[in-house]
Amino acid sequence: MPVTASQTEPESIEQALPPIAFVDLETTGMRPTRDGITEIGIVLSDQGRITEEWSTLLNPEAHIPWKIQELTGISNGMVRDAPRFEEVAGEVAELLQERLFVAHNARFDYGFLKNAFRRLGIDFSPRVLCTVKLSRCLFPHQPRHCLDALKRVHGIHADQRHRALADAKSLHFVMQAFQQKVGSEALLSAMQAQYRRQSLPPHLDEHMLEGIGNTPGVYLFYGENDVLLYVGKSVTLRTRILSHFSSDTASDREMRMSQQVRRIETIETAGELGALLLEAELVKQRQPTLNRQLRRYRSLCSIQWDIRGGGQPEVVAIDRLDAANTPHLYGLYKTRRAALKTLKQAADDYRLCHKHMGLEKGDGACFGYQLHRCNGICVGEEPEMQHRIRMLEALLPLKIKAWPFNGRIGIREQHPASGREEIHVLDHWCYLGKVSHEEALEQLDTAVSARLDIDIYKILRRYLDKSGSIEIIDLAS
Ligand SMILES: [Zn+2]
C-alpha cells in the first residue's frame, strides 16, 4: 500500500513554522504611549521564504530628537510629507493579519503598534515572538543579543542598520541561522517555551522568578550594571512582579521597566506594614531611578495655630510630635513654601483675610477685600469670631491626628504560611525599628528616637485607619 511522503517524513521547519511577519519600527523615542513612529518595515515569510517586503516612512506628528536622527538617518525633513499612521493602518493590519509577529525586542515594536492602533479604536493582539528572548534561550552563554551582535555571530550582512526594512529583513536571516545551528526541533521548542512565558521581559531569565512566592515583601528591579531601577512592595510578591510585565504596553514607565530589568531581588516581610515601611526606607536610601523620588528632609514644616488664642497661624519647623504640640498642628510639609501655599489656598477657599492671617502686610483693607475675596474682617465688616470659625473649618481637614496611644507601641505582624514574625516599634508617628521577637524589644528600647518623616506618617495613618485587627503591644510603661 503506497504511503504518501507527507505521512512518513518528519515535519520540516518550513512546514512547521506559522506564517510570519518580521516587523521593525523606528520611532521618535522610547515611550509607546507618547512617542511617534517614523518608519515601519515589514517582511512577510511563508514556509521559510520571503514573500513580501513592505515599508514606509511615517509622519510621527512630533519632533525627532537629534540623537535619534543621527542613529536612524531619518530626519524631520524626510517625514514631513510622509503619511500619518492612520493613513496606512488598514494596510498594516492586513499585512500582519493572522501572522506570528516577530520582532527584536518585540515588546517595543508591539507596544508602539498596539498603542497606535488603540488610538484608532482598533484592538491589535497578535501572537508575538521576540528574537532577543529566542536567542537568549537558544544561546544562553552568548554575552550579547542585540541585533548587531546576532548579525556578527551568525554572519549576516545587511546594510542600513537602524532602518526598518533592513532590520526586519535581518530578522528573517537570524531565524534561518537559528534553525541551521540548532535544528528545527530545538527552534520550535524554544518558540513554544516563549509562548508559555509570554509576559517575561526580554532580558530577564526565567530562573530569576524561581523561589519567589506570594508572600508579603519588597521587590527590587536591577538594570544593566546592577543599577537599581525600581523598588515596590506587595502582600503577594509573585503576582505583583508578574503584573508589571503584563501591562507594559499601557504605561511608559512599565515599558521602560521591563525593557531594562535584568535581575530581581526580593525581601520578604511578615506583613503589609513591614513591606510598606521597608519600601519607603529603601526608596529614600537608594534612590531607584524609576521611583517617584522620596527625599529625606532635614526638617519638616507644619502650620501651627491655637484656636483658643485666635492669633495668626504660623509656619513652624518640626521634627517631633508630642502630646503638647500635636493639637495645634495642621499638616506636614516638606518645605516652608509648601506650607505657605496651603495656607493661602485655604484662605482663598474660605474667604479669609490674608492680612488678618499674617500673609499680607500693611494697614487697611487687604488686597482680597478689593477683589471681594475677603469677607472684610480687615475693615471691621466681619466679626472676629466668625472669621476664626471659618479658619478652623479651612484648617480642620489638615489637622494632624493625635497619636492614639499612650506612647511607644509595638505592632506585631505574623505571616501564617512562612511563620515569619516582626514587631514594628512606633512612637508618635515615628518608626523606631523592628525586631523579630518580643524578647528583642529590650535591646531596641535604648535606640535613639527617629525623626518625624512625612511618608512614614502617611503610611501609619492609612494603616491604622483601615486595618481592622492589628495586634498592638503597649510599650509606653
Ligand atoms: Zn481682608
Tens-digit pLDDT profile for residues 256-315: 888 889 999 999 999 999 999 999 999 988 989 988 766 666 678 999 999 888 789 999
Question: Can you name the CATH fold of 7-196?
Answer: Nucleotidyltransferase; domain 5 (3.30.420)
HEC per residue, 147-187 = HHHHHHHCCCCCCCCCCHHHHHHHHHHHHHHHHHHHCHHHH
Burial of 38 (0-12, 13-18, 19+ CB in 10 A): buried
CA 312 to ligand 1 centroid distance, Å? 13
pLDDT value of position 298: 67
Burial of 143 (0-12, 13-18, 19+ CB in 10 A): exposed
**pLDDT average, residue stretch 439-443:** 82
Would you say the CATH fold of 206-286 matches that of 7-196?
no
pLDDT value of position 4: 39
pLDDT value of position 3: 38
For the chain, what are the domain ranges?
A: 7-196, 206-286, 300-398, 409-474
Higher pLDDT, 155 or 252: 155
Higher pLDDT, 281 or 17: 281
CA 304 to ligand 1 centroid distance, Å? 21
Q: Any idea which of 20-29, 182-191, 201-210, 299-308 has the lowest mean pLDDT?
A: 201-210
pLDDT band at 14 (very low <50, low <70, confident <90, very high): low
pLDDT value of position 197: 65
CA 305 to ligand 1 centroid distance, Å? 19
pLDDT value of position 295: 62
Tens-digit pLDDT profile for residues 225-239: 999 999 999 988 988
CA 375 to ligand 1 centroid distance, Å? 7
Rounded to two decimals, the pTM is 0.61
Give Rg (Cα) of the chain: 31
Tens-digit pLDDT profile for residues 64-115: 998 889 888 899 999 999 999 999 999 999 999 889 999 999 989 999 999 9
Cell numbers given for 324: 503638647
Q: Are 463 and 273 in contact (CB under 8 A)?
A: yes
How much of the chain, in percent, has pLDDT values that exceed 90? 52
Task: Give the length of the chain.
Answer: 477
pLDDT band at 199 (very low <50, low <70, confident <90, very high): low
CA 359 to ligand 1 centroid distance, Å? 10
Residues with beta carbon < 5 A to ion ligand 1? 353, 366, 369, 374, 378
pLDDT value of position 5: 38
pLDDT band at 161 (very low <50, low <70, confident <90, very high): confident
CA 354 to ligand 1 centroid distance, Å? 6
**471-474 and 228-234 beta bridge pairing:** unpaired
The residues, ordered by sequence, that sit 6+ positions from 451 with a Cβ below 8 Å of its Cβ are: 319, 320, 430
pLDDT value of position 308: 87
d(CA 261, CA 290): 11
**pLDDT average, residue stretch 345-372:** 92
Tens-digit pLDDT profile for residues 373-393: 999 999 999 999 999 999 999
Q: Is the model's pLDDT at 140 over the cut of 50? A: yes
Average pLDDT in the chain: 87
CA 371 to ligand 1 centroid distance, Å? 10
Q: Is the model's pLDDT at 241 over the cut of 60? A: yes
Write the class of the CATH domain 206-286.
alpha beta
